[in-house]
Amino acid sequence: MKNKDLFRQESGSGGPLYLRVYSHYKDLISSGQLPAGARLPSIRRCAQELEVSRTTVEAAYAQLAAEGYAVARPQSGFYAARLDYNPENAGLLPKPHSIPKKPPLRFDFASASVDAESFDFALWRRYIKSALRADQRLLSYGEPQGEPDLRAAICGYVAQSRNVVCSPEQIVIGAGVQSLLHILCALLGNRSSAGFWNNSFAQGQAVLEDHGFSIRHYRQAADDFSALERDGVRLLYLSPSHMDAMGSVMPVSQRLRLLEVARRAGCLVVEDDYDSEFRYFTHPVPSLQGLDGGRSVLYMATFSKLLLPSLRLSFMVLPSSLMDAYKQRGGLYNQTASKAEQIALCQFIRDGHLAAQIRKARKLYMGKSRALCEAAGLAFGPQAQAEVCASGLMVRLTLSGGEPALALQQKAQQAGIAVRVESAGDGNASLLLASTGVPADSFREAMRALQAAICGTPEAP
């Protein structure tokens, strides 16, 4: 069959003509009908054979050369290129290993999701719509450090609610804590070792490791922070207002001791204050940064817990010792948070809705956690003891019997119930149940299903 007939048969009538010529020769080269090194017809000859213009052929040959199917040789013409793959297997991926399917999730007590009733979506939509009407502001990229008016609003809020000592110039806004940690690592010259105190923030550890830090883990033990000096730790990451899964708070005496050791060791303390507003049995303890006067503590917080997890807005307050480094390097990092959401959040805070939102969420979640404790008591009876954690967001369910916590978690998972676990230290195991993401009217059904899964009994109706 002549080239002209084959070309017409393959190309049909769709698409620009030069692309049809290109596809014709690409298929010939890919299939091996034009072997590597074979010369393509000259532009004049190809135009005659396919009954197209020379301009069309030139464009098709140029496309073949640009994509590596052909090689142009000056004063000689175009030649089929050598392809580094077998065209018979092109596009085929190795068969993936089969992954065992998990049972469908019925009740999720392990995630950090929120209750829809805790947030006024209609109110937030009004602020978003208002932000989208700020036409001139939305025509430009966001400020690398964050919108100035939002930084001023945050500065006033954390000074009042958390006793943070700062100015708007010290605040850096980003889309999540991880993005801010990348910036922080760029400001730190010494990449020796970093410590995590009573904290399992795996995402934060990954960022520091990627930037060359060696990671050490420390556990709270009386007032002994001397290990930080001994190990030469230059950065310590901790959450003093949420030291464990139950939300235990580091006492002020320990905070002052930590600050003394950190100053002496030249260690920068990163205070992650992600949910300190949620306190039910005690008043929120002032921030570590406030006790320090903003000298050697970097304060970090997020609005994901206070508002919505999908609202990826976090901020850090740089100590004065890092301000010069930020002025030199900070502008090289583009803003990762939505400018429209920053504008909306600024007015939301100014109008007092953030404080109202926190009060509403506190009341809702404390009520849900108490209801979850009651449901667990009805389902397990004397087999278990349930208590609300200090933040009010989680319930600890301690089970007698000595079965390992991970075994209990696996049984729950097989029943479609996601839970967290911890060892109680006395032979018993504890399940940690977040009350936020499961509707309250499902608690009794969920606890009956959990009891049946753990004890191996039929699920009660």
pLDDT, tens digit (0-9, with 9 covering 90-100), for 200-215: 688 888 998 888 888 8
pLDDT at 323 over 60: yes
> What is the DSSP-derived secondary structure letter of residue 299?
E
pLDDT at 442 over 60: yes
Q: How far apart are CA 453 and CA 51, in angstroms?
A: 75
Rg value, the chain, Cα: 31
pLDDT at 443 over 90: yes
Q: How far apart are CA 304 and CA 278, in angstroms?
A: 13
Evaluate the CA torsion angle 388, 391, 394, 400 in order and state its sign: negative
Q: What is the pLDDT of residues 147-159, one digit of tens each?
A: 999 999 999 999 9
φ, ψ of residue 326 in degrees (nearest 5)? -70, -40
Q: How many CB atoms lie within 10 A of CB 384?
A: 22
Q: How far apart are CA 305 and CA 314, in angstroms?
A: 10
Q: How many CB atoms lie within 10 A of CB 292?
A: 21
pLDDT at 392 over 80: no
Q: In the prediction, which pLDDT does 284 show?
A: 61
pLDDT at 437 over 90: no
Q: How many CB atoms lie within 10 A of CB 130?
A: 14
Give the rounded percent of residues in the chain with a pLDDT score beyond 90: 28
Across residues 17-35, what is the average pLDDT?
88
pLDDT at 12 over 70: no
Q: What is the pLDDT of residues 62-86, one digit of tens each?
A: 899 888 899 988 888 899 988 865 5
How confident is residue 50, by pLDDT bands cut at 50, 70 and 90? confident
Taking the model in full, what pTM does it have?
0.72
Q: In the prediction, which pLDDT does 402 show?
A: 72
**Which has more pLDDT, 74 or 376?**
376
The answer to whether residues 393 and 365 touch, using CB atoms and an 8 Å cutoff, is yes
Q: What is the pLDDT of residues 180-189, one digit of tens each?
A: 999 999 898 7
Q: How far apart are CA 354 and CA 361, in angstroms?
A: 11
